Structure 1
Amino acid sequence: MNRKTLVLPAVAGLLAPLLAACGGAEEGGAIVVGTTDQFIATADAPAPLDPAFAYDTGAWNILRQTVQTLMHVPRDSGEPVPEAAQNCGFSDKASESYRCKLRSGLTFADGSPITAEDVKFSIERVLKIKSDNGTAALLSNIDTIETKGADEVVFHLKTPDATFPYKLSTPVAGILSKDKYEAGKLRDGFDVDGSGPYTMKVEREGDKATRFVFTKNPAYKGDITLRNEKVELRPYTDANTMGRALESDDIDMMARSLSRQQIKDLTETPKDGIEVIEVPGLEIRYLGFNTKAPAVQEKAVRQAMAAVVDRGALVNRVYGTTAEPLYSLIPSSITGHTTPFFDAYGEPDQARAAKLLKDAGVKTPVKLTLNYTTDHYGAETAEEFEALKKQLVASELFDVTVQGAEWSTFRTAQKRGDYAVYGLGWFPDYPDPDNYIAPFLDSDNFLNTPYVNKVVRDQLIPRSRRQADRTAASPVFNQIQKIVAEDVPVLPLWQGKQYVAARDDLNGVEYALNTSSDLLLWELGRGTA
């Protein structure tokens, strides 16, 4: 999921009631988790927590606690298993008809029953609203939805799709009540109503959410086992402030995102009562291009950038051992990974880049502005973009300016096509190679990119989804990645590792953040168990 921070107009009715004043980590026995994700609401994004809009790691980490899905990915990140469903499966060999039967006695948190019609309503609502945030693309292969009685729903797909169970495990497929959500309109604000393992209250200051309190939902029926009664999620403006809160015992754990310096300090000089843990991660970072923008419309400009950028030097300078160079959209730990950008461009080569530009008749130096978000991916982002600028300028082929903006402004401008070159990160919606390809190259994609390759979109992506054995789809993903390296609609830079830090009386920490950076708050408990 881009994955992926947010934003609501400051309406008086949304400002109250507020929760009680802030307290320490022991208040009310709640486990307190810190995050640097920011939850803001603006006129451009007034419904940050509506499943039909939310497509960002921070938002999904709220929705996963509160909104139930038919399937979910277990903590070991294996294949999806039933959650709100009693069972699910393809009812045909072509993987075009997917049938789910609901668990008996399911209700929303307010006690109203959940039926197959609620599932149908929720998913058809996403497709009807079709937000420009890219969420509907995950479900766009649905042709029709059929209900059979009160507890059975059948999804008829336009084309075979072995990844469909994963898509039903994402918050975009969350089950909502017709009484709380309108069919054709997003729900403004931070309130969420669902049937997930927790109910939620939110504290606000102006247009920003400053604390989320999750309380065990007594009506919950599903596959998840809760190991606590209450968890608080507190957003912090930066990693250092969050770190001080952990040291002073105001919070029990800090998740995304720790800074490189924090990880280094906590690893080399452990603090009493605090442990830092590396957990598997699948985050990638990349440059995206508006391929219709004059500065980068010529493919040779994008290819020359690919030939000049030194990923190894960039990672060593900015991220050290917390990241590694990436030469593909698909990271090394995912089936289907290859290294097409290294195969095509090799080590950084200024002479080759110059020839690409000269052969295409591009006058140098090419003027570029590299755009990045200042408050979404961590403190090192600014340093990363200054390092990229120096590499490009040093080639004498580019004249580069760097420009940063807050996420609420940045994401809106990026989707609108204001930026020729921009930096983004991606946290997968589900751990499958399809989710590193389709969100960037398929129709209605997350980037809202003008780049279209019809072979990829109309032939290769559908072909890859026909393979129930995902390793059998690797040759198709290899073809797609070669096309990406040739056309360079995006330029992968690095893949990251994940770390959490926590007080040593907290257990379950190693399970509380999965490979997609989803917070599984129900895994946390106190004591030594």
Structure 2
Amino acid sequence: MRSAKLITLRIIPVIMVLAMISGCSGSAPDPGPTPSTSPSPERPFTVMTTDRIRTADPAAVADTGSTMLTQNVFQRLMTIDPTQPQWLKPDAAQDCSYPTRTVYECVLRPDLKFSNGDPMTSADVKFSIQRALRLDVGGSSASLMGSLRRVETPDAQTVRFVLSRYDTQFSRALASPAASIVDSKVYNPDRIQGPDKPIVGSGPFRVVRFDKDELELGKFLDYKGYAAAEVGNVVIRTMPDSASIEEAMSKHETDVVWRGLSSAAQQRLQAQLSVSKDQVSKAGFGQLILPGGRVEQLLWNPDSRHRDSTALRDAIAAALQEDRTLDSVVPAGVPGHRASFPLGGRADIKITWDNRIQLTLGYDPTAPNSLDLATQIRTRLEDTGGMSVLLRPDDPRADLQLVDRKAWVPTGVAWLQPVIDDPMKGQQSEIASGLEKAREAGVGSPQLSGALAELQHAAAEEKIVLPLSQSSEYVYLGPRTKATSDGFGPGWQLGLWGFRIDR
């Protein structure tokens, strides 16, 4: 059984301190009465967010919202505690190792089951990994397993991955969403599973009900792995906006708020926390802070007809320099981070074309403050005098995409995945060289840091992924709700196993 200590520790990959404000003393009076116990007897444990769950098939996960389902309903062979990114931890596997430089072998825990009662065997693992690579969904974590040549199953408990090269990063790829294990009797090997089909995993929770804006989970009693759940039934509710979440908090209709609150709402809550002797809001919510946990980037669409213009990419990167607070595609605090993009000051923007270029900018309207940031980016680009920008909410075909991103696992290679997957022609050899060195380097070694620095330099040269900002992520915990130190997935995805209620 995992440790259930409360979060008061230093975070290595995201940076600095992860702090839950609760039980601290102060001289100011409490602004409100003691709230009622949460959750109420009339409702299950409830999580609210504005993130949408876009797919229930782990092979197709390419967004932050869908990882809430994937991380809690499905198992992977290994996982990573993001507070200790250098160490892999077994989940469905009992143990994994490299018997040779090009073979990675895992032994499953005994008597594993899926939530429908089917036994899990090495054949299911083979099916799942091969299926994810075959479907190869853009933006998913499947490309992190690119070194895989074939999967062998010597017996029902053993999975052997034969690699095309020595790759120290492959083991970490097995902790990512695309490596989730599905029931080979239920999932189609050639198609993405629709939300109307059974959702069958072996993780700490099972799916009870999945509607458009609500996911209900129940504790999976036969789960065997790293992250056994402490709460029973859980409802994840996607709310339309920040105001609706704030209202639900005041009415004690939720126990956890995961993303979704606007900057103004967070400032209002912070003001309440600052004058409370217990450092809770008027409704009794404490604040858990993930410093550096929110990362915003601007990505070029690989299919954009404007992407090949070096002058245009340079001009866009320069136009955003004054507002940029993040200096690399690999965020500060992630092992291997190296400053590579200029910050602040006024860049010398050169417009070398005669006619204004028409661009489209896509963004997720459910992400906090996304419209405000998209509008600010448009203003900066249009102020150059060489571009016009149309905002396109929820448009994957837009030339540029504003993303509020989390990497699938806490490694520099995972953060660099968009650069590695779709490099510009002029940077292909440098990126291939840096990636090869990263694969061969030991975790935490100077060689890995050097390879990541090389990759970050190439990313800054080609400018197809532009770092914008890095700020804190806030999680709000209702009365009597506690979070444990290992309550997050490898990429800081929300792990529902990390919560408990103090009665």
Instruction: Identify if the C-alpha distance between structure 1 residues 510 and 119 changes in structure 2 by more than 3 Å, giving closer, same or farther.
Output: closer
In the alignment, which residue of structure 1 is the partner of 2:477?
Answer: 502
For structure 2, list consecutive stretches of 5 or more residues without a partner in the other structure: 1-37, 274-280
Instruction: Identify if the C-alpha distance between structure 1 residues 137 and 181 changes in structure 2 by more than 3 Å, giving closer, same or farther.
Output: same
CA deviation profile, 1:207-245 (whole Å, cap 9, x unmatched): xx2221111112111122322122111110112211211
In the alignment, which residue of structure 1 is the partner of 2:96?
Answer: 88
2:353–2:386 CA contact under 8 A, matched in 1: no
Matched to 2:287, the amino acid is V
CA deviation profile, 1:75-116 (whole Å, cap 9, x unmatched): 634322001111111112x3x211100111111122221111
Matched, 1:154 2:160: yes
Aligned residue among 196, 205, 213 for 2:203: 196
In the alignment, which residue of structure 1 is the partner of 2:74?
Answer: 67
Structure with the largest fraction of helix: 1
1:283–1:428 CA contact under 8 A, matched in 2: no
In the alignment, which residue of structure 2 is the partner of 1:244?
Answer: 247
Q: CA deviation at 1:337?
A: 1.5
Q: CA deviation at 1:127?
A: 1.7
In the alignment, which residue of structure 2 is the partner of 1:58?
Answer: 65
1:145-224 to structure 2, matched below 5 A, reads 145-189=151-195, 191-204=198-211, 209-224=212-227
Matched, 1:392 2:385: no
TM-score (norm 2): 0.84
Matched to 1:489, the amino acid is I
1:291–1:451 CA contact under 8 A, matched in 2: no
For structure 1, list consecutive stretches of 5 or more residues without a partner in the other structure: 1-23, 41-47, 315-324, 414-418
Structure 2: distance between partners of 1:456 and 1:202: 48
CA RMSD, 1 decimal: 2.4
- Percent of aligned pairs with the same amino acid: 22
Matched to 1:423, the amino acid is L
Query: What is the total number of aligned residue pairs between the two structures?
Result: 455
Q: CA deviation at 1:341?
A: 1.4
1:419-430 to structure 2, matched below 5 A, reads 419-430=398-409
Structure 2: distance between partners of 1:377 and 1:85: 35
Q: Which runs of 4+ in 1 moved over 4 A?
A: 290-296, 449-452
Matched, 1:459 2:433: yes
Instruction: Identify if the C-alpha distance between structure 1 residues 35 and 517 changes in structure 2 by more than 3 Å, giving closer, same or farther.
Output: farther
Q: CA deviation at 1:28?
A: 5.7
In the alignment, which residue of structure 2 is the partner of 1:353?
Answer: 349
In the alignment, which residue of structure 2 is the partner of 1:17?
Answer: none
Instruction: Identify if the C-alpha distance between structure 1 residues 151 and 212 changes in structure 2 by more than 3 Å, giving closer, same or farther.
Output: same
Instruction: Identify if the C-alpha distance between structure 1 residues 508 and 421 changes in structure 2 by more than 3 Å, giving closer, same or farther.
Output: closer
Instruction: Identify if the C-alpha distance between structure 1 residues 52 and 337 changes in structure 2 by more than 3 Å, giving closer, same or farther.
Output: same
**Relative to structure 2, which stretch is displaced further, 212-221 or 183-192?**
183-192
2:419–2:465 CA contact under 8 A, matched in 1: no
Instruction: Identify if the C-alpha distance between structure 1 residues 527 and 117 changes in structure 2 by more than 3 Å, giving closer, same or farther.
Output: same
Instruction: Identify if the C-alpha distance between structure 1 residues 261 and 302 changes in structure 2 by more than 3 Å, giving closer, same or farther.
Output: same
Structure 2: distance between partners of 1:262 and 1:513: 24
Structure 1: distance between partners of 2:315 and 2:142: 34
Aligned residue among 134, 144, 150 for 2:150: 144
Q: CA deviation at 1:463?
A: 1.3
Q: CA deviation at 1:126?
A: 1.3
Structure 1: distance between partners of 2:203 and 2:303: 43
Structure 2: distance between partners of 1:451 and 1:268: 50
Q: CA deviation at 1:121?
A: 1.1
CA deviation profile, 1:49-99 (whole Å, cap 9, x unmatched): 11221222211110111111111123634322001111111112x3x2111
2:141–2:173 CA contact under 8 A, matched in 1: no
2:358–2:389 CA contact under 8 A, matched in 1: yes
